[in-house]
Amino acid sequence: MGVRAATTAHDQPPWPKVGSIGIKDPLMKLPLLGLDLLQIRQALGEAFPAYRARQIYEAIYCQRVGSIEEITTLPKWLRQELDTRFTIGWPRLRRVFESADGTRRFLLELDDGQLVETVLMPEPDRDTVCVSTQVGCSVGCKFCLTASLGLRRNLSAGEIAGQVLWVARQVGLDPHRRQLNVVLMGQGEPLLNLEAVAKAIRLLVDPQGFGLSVRRITLSTVGIVPKIYELAKLEPRPKLAISLNATTQEQRAQLIPIARKYTLAELMAACRAYPLRSWERLTFEYVLLRGVNDQEADARRLVSLVGQIRCKVNLIPFNPAPGLPFQRPEENEILRFQQIVQRSVPCFVRWSRGVDVFGACGQLRCMELAEKEAGSGPRSESGNLVATGPGFGILRVGPGGPAKLSPELDNT
């Protein structure tokens, strides 16, 4: 009681009014994840000393605490007071699958019940986290399963950065100890949610917070031309990847309907004008579809399109998924395409990760929605029921089919 009496004069809780800093309902708790240091100060109010906001900020972005109660740098009475109006704002684990190659695919539930997918791809010398920027997508790429979901809403900065921080909390990732890459290549078109994406990047790269290097963040876009020019002025600015996927306007418009609005010629002009830093290359992603865009003539046109730009090409063999009318080329066809391109441009094949655990982007969410209608769980190719219900742990799936569940992950 003595501690509280000594600090009340500076720590009185003048809580923000309804409508400020995102509060819309006096009965709702304000998520702190997604607020920068200044916004946390504003949310606490002027009567609190500034170091209280710093303690909360570091607890969320450096220590990645699971709840306000875990912010032990704050006195207990203050944690109790804060807990009546605030929450950390972590997503909730709905499902997670672990592939034989180590890839983990997380289906995360947001506060309003919407679902997004986040993927962890570990490698011997680094880890990569692929995050979503929207619930669903409005672009409508014909080879992408997420297109069938439509667009539900944009994600907030906290929901975008929160995917990275949640994975880091769950599996112990630390960008200061081991290389961590973040790719904005999950569900959604990042440039159609650029304001939230830009803020999420600022939060992730803040050296006083999570401390990720901006060189380790890549944003992938299908080619929203005006937003590419806007992105070029962003600071801090991630690396840019263009999801090209075709070498003629006619072909690209068929595969990517929004290319009718932002033409191939306009896109390539934006790429040529893009201000690359001395250490940077533009990345062109090219999903290989058998019999559609994988011919030798396509490879030669691709070289003509990008050959004068400081860039690299990532070839991505199509990842088959139910309901999509495309096939993956044979391996010899993929390598032949690569050989033609790499004579002029650095060219790499990015083999799909996690193909044995519903690997196509959007497939977990589609599966979840289908189950609600059918009332049954997902099944492996062998017909075995796999990984049903929230908080089930990790289902290991390999060449021999489903194996055992590993211990559950913390669901905070």
Active site members:
117, 361
Q: How far is CA 50 from CA 26, 42, 47, 147, 327, in A?
A: 24, 10, 9, 45, 57
Q: Is the CA virtual torsion 315, 319, 323, 325 positive or negative?
A: positive
Measured CA to CA, the distance from residue 307 to residue 279 in angstroms comes to 18
Tell me whether the omega of the peptide bond preceding residue 378 falls within 30 degrees of 0, making it cis.
no
- Distance in angstroms (rounded) separating the CA atoms of residues 93 and 407: 14
Q: Which of 102, 133, 96 is nearest to 116 (CA)?
A: 133
Are the C-beta atoms of residues 210 and 216 closer than 8 Å to each other? no
Q: Which amino acid is at 337?
A: F
Could you tell me which of 185, 304, 197, 187 has the C-alpha nearest to residue 242? 185
Q: What are the b/e assignments for 143-160, b being 16+ CB within 10 Å?
A: bbbbbbbebbebbbbbbb
Cβ-in-10-Å burial (0-12, 13-18, 19+) of 396 comes to middle
